[in-house]
């Protein structure tokens, strides 16, 4: 989107999405004002509900322009219905503001399917991208791992996976600041003969492509947490299952840890002494820290916050959108697809980035 350089960073926010909206959204914005320099907001929602809340935050209210939107997309609404009938919704109005050049990106904690359908319809995909992907960043032994797709595309062909690999690599380079990010394809084994047709064909394409020097090969589910590669590529079905399985496992572990630490007077005393260290460790796994899934491959920045998050988590989703804008992710994706489709590289060492 144009105009980012000539005015402060402007984000369009859907005030009405999320379990505890609009209050959670506005508190999140208030936190973001403290941590993101010069950020401004266009806030879309029911002005009678939202305006009094914004007034309660002195520093925030000078950075917000409130725009009235009559409708709200329900969490249960079908994407197709939202797309047809949701033109006056806060979600759609926020997306339209980005398309109109009034904002640099949009953040919503509302219905994921509706947000993706609308963002795809309004923004269209970037050149070279057939389908956008949902990407997020996870804690790993080596630091952080990017995982995509997390659920936008339940069925993926080899070409989709290859495109996700390109987008993930650009993200790791531009936003995570990695010089030579490595990319792995999620599979049920590391050997070439394992897996379904899509992953085998995608691996063959990547090995022959200019991205070959970044392509590690197949990885397995445990490699996400181990940080074996910087970017893990998979279809939206497996990616969503991996994401949710990791969340569930972490929750189960936390539950039993808490129970163990109150199981005896000695354990309670131990927990008291080790408390600060344990809290620091738990903070590392705090899902709110990783809140803000990116829709990669669209000609517009769109970030989806978890619907059940709080102000701390929503502020992180805003931060993700701000990073995507300022790090020029979409320009990077455009450049890489142009480069990849320009024929074989003379020198493979020069390929990508």
User: Which spans of this chain sit near its own copies (rule: CB under 8 A)?
Assistant: 76, 78, 139-141, 151, 154-155, 186, 188-189, 191, 193-196, 220-226, 234, 236-238, 240-253, 255-257, 259-261, 263-264, 266-267, 269-278, 280-281, 284-285
In the Cβ-directed half-sphere of 335, how many Cα atoms lie within 13 Å?
12
Cα separation of 351 and 353, whole Å? Answer: 7
List the beta bridge partners of residue 42. Answer: 12, 65
Nearer to its own copies, 89 or 228 (CB): 228
DSSP 109: -
Residue 32 has φ and ψ, to the nearest 5°, of: -65, -35
Nearer to its own copies, 212 or 271 (CB): 271
The stretches of the chain forming alpha helices (DSSP H) are: 23-35, 47-55, 58-61, 79-85, 90-99, 112-123, 158-174, 197-208, 222-226, 236-260, 265-284, 311-326, 329-340
User: Cβ of residue 117: shortest distance to its own copies, in angstroms?
Assistant: 13
Question: Nearest-CA neighbor of 44 among 79, 11, 85, 81?
Answer: 11
User: Cβ of residue 170: shortest distance to its own copies, in angstroms?
Assistant: 24
Nearer to its own copies, 174 or 240 (CB): 240
User: Cβ of residue 307: shortest distance to its own copies, in angstroms?
Assistant: 13
Q: Which two tokens stand for residue 210?
A: 């200019």
User: Cβ of residue 193: shortest distance to its own copies, in angstroms?
Assistant: 7
Nearer to its own copies, 49 or 247 (CB): 247
**From the CB of residue 124, how many other CB atoms can be counted at a distance below 10 Å?**
14
Nearer to its own copies, 237 or 312 (CB): 237
Question: Contact 71/84 with Cβ under 8 angstroms?
Answer: no
User: Cβ of residue 266: shortest distance to its own copies, in angstroms?
Assistant: 5
Nearer to its own copies, 87 or 194 (CB): 194
Nearer to its own copies, 37 or 268 (CB): 268
User: Cβ of residue 137: shortest distance to its own copies, in angstroms?
Assistant: 14
Question: Nearest-CA neighbor of 241 among 343, 149, 175?
Answer: 149
User: Cβ of residue 179: shortest distance to its own copies, in angstroms?
Assistant: 24
Nearer to its own copies, 114 or 333 (CB): 114
Residue 96 has φ and ψ, to the nearest 5°, of: -60, -35
Nearer to its own copies, 136 or 140 (CB): 140
- Burial code (b: 16+ CB inside 10 Å, e: under 16) for 19-36 equals eebbbbbbbbbbbbbeeb
Cα separation of 196 and 157, whole Å? Answer: 10
User: Cβ of residue 77: shortest distance to its own copies, in angstroms?
Assistant: 11
State the chain's maximal CA–CA distance in angstroms. Answer: 69
Four-residue CA torsion sign, 251, 253, 257, 260: positive
**From the CB of residue 194, how many other CB atoms can be counted at a distance below 10 Å?**
13
User: Cβ of residue 224: shortest distance to its own copies, in angstroms?
Assistant: 6
């Amino acid at each position: 989107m144009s105009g980012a350089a000539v005015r402060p960073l402007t984000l369009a926010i859907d005030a009405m999405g999320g379990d505890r909206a609009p209050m959670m959204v506005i508190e999140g914005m208030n936190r973001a004002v403290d941590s993101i320099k010069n950020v401004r907001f266009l806030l879309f929602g029911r002005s009678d509900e939202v305006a009094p809340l914004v007034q309660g935050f002195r520093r925030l209210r000078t950075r917000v322009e409130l725009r009235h939107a009559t409708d709200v997309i329900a969490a249960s609404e079908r994407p197709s219905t939202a797309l047809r009938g949701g033109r006056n919704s806060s979600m759609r109005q926020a997306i339209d503001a980005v398309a109109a050049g009034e904002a640099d990106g949009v953040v919503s904690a509302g219905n994921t399917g509706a947000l993706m359908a609308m963002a795809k319809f309004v923004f269209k995909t970037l050149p070279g991208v057939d389908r956008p992907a949902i990407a997020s960043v996870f804690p790993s032994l080596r630091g952080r791992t990017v995982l995509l797709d997390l659920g936008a595309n339940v069925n993926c062909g080899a070409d989709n996976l290859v495109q996700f690999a390109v987008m993930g690599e650009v993200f790791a380079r531009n936003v995570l600041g990695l010089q030579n990010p490595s990319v792995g394809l999620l599979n049920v084994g590391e050997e070439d003969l394992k897996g379904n047709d899509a992953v085998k064909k995608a691996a063959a394409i990547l090995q022959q492509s200019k991205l070959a020097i970044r392509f590690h090969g197949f990885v397995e589910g445990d490699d996400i947490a181990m940080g074996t590669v910087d970017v893990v590529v998979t279809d939206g079905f497996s990616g969503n299952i991996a994401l949710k399985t990791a969340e569930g496992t972490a929750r189960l572990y936390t539950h039993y840890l808490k129970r163990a630490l109150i199981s005896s007077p000695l354990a309670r005393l131990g927990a008291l002494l080790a408390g600060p260290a344990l809290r620091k460790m738990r903070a590392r796994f705090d899902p709110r820290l990783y809140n803000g899934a990116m829709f990669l491959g669209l000609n517009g920045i769109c970030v989806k916050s978890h619907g059940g998050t709080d102000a701390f988590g929503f502020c992180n989703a805003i931060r993700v959108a701000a990073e995507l804008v300022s790090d020029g992710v979409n320009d990077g994706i455009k450049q890489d697809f142009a480069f990849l489709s320009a024929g074989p590289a003379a020198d493979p060492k020069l390929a990508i980035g």
